[in-house]
Amino acid sequence: MFALIQSGVVVELFAERPVLHPDVELVDVSAFPDIAVGWVFANGSFLAPPPAPPPTRAELQAYAAAKWAAVIANGTVTVGGFQSSTAEQWQGYVSRAVQLAQTDPSTPILWNGVTPITPSQLQALGAAVGIFVQAAFTAEGAAQAAIAAGTITTFARIDAAAWPANS
């Protein structure tokens, strides 16, 4: 294996020796199985790159907000065999269908345009969507508060928060 070195840093690895301009610094790293892009090469030795700095409070806050959005966009709930996405668009569909069922319970409603669903089944599904969304808000709020308090300092701790699970 060969490493392309630029400004003392491994920028690319090759399984075979590439044909490059003679001025390009290429080092045989066959004896160094752990070498990776980003390693430092100085005085004939390789050093692992320094660890990345910890994320800033702003980066953690943005990550928690993005995590909330991803949980909502990818969430699903299932009640009585009926499944719904928790994505914002589906929240609207479910909410309007529940409203229709409350306004005129005699109107037949087909879930996903195919399966008949009763007003009580629809209300249970709507409640499950709402509970999921509120649980996501609660998880993000707790994460944001812990970030502000300095008790969450990593992305992994945000991922480990009590986010709602799909059902």
> pLDDT tens digit string along 10-47?
999 999 999 888 888 899 999 988 999 999 999 988 99
Place of tokens 């610094």: 25
- Predicted confidence (pLDDT) at residue 167 exceeds the cutoff of 90: no
Q: What is the pTM of this model?
A: 0.74
**pLDDT in the model for residue 21:** 87
How many Cβ atoms are within 10 Å of 166's Cβ, its own excluded? 13
For residues 97 and 37, state if they share a domain.
no
Residues 77, 151: one domain?
yes
Domain count, the chain: 2
Predicted local confidence at residue 80, as pLDDT: 94
Q: For 86-99, how does the pLDDT look when each residue is reduced to its tens digit (9 = 90+)? A: 999 999 999 999 99
| Residue 46 identity | F
- Please tell me whether residues 61 and 119 are part of one structural domain: yes
Answer with the residue of higher pLDDT: 167 or 122: 122
The mean per-residue pLDDT over the stretch 55-65 comes to: 98
The whole-number pLDDT of residue 87 equals 97
Is 52 domain-assigned? no
Separation of alpha carbons 157 and 54, rounded Å: 13
| 37 and 95 in a common domain | no
Q: Are residues 97 and 148 in the same domain?
A: yes
Among candidates 52, 34, 55, 54, which has minimal Cα distance to 10?
A: 34
In a domain, 164, yes or no: no
pLDDT in tens, 108-127: 999 988 999 999 999 999 99
Do 48 and 112 meet the contact criterion of CB atoms below 8 Å apart? no
Return mean pLDDT, the chain.
Answer: 94
Say how far residue 153 (Cα) sits from the centre of its chain. 17
Q: Which amino acid is at 50?
A: P
**Host domain of residue 144:** 57-159
In this structure, is residue 167 part of a structural domain? no
The answer to whether residue 50 scores a pLDDT higher than 90 is no
- The DSSP element (H or E) to which 157 belongs, if any, is helix 155-159
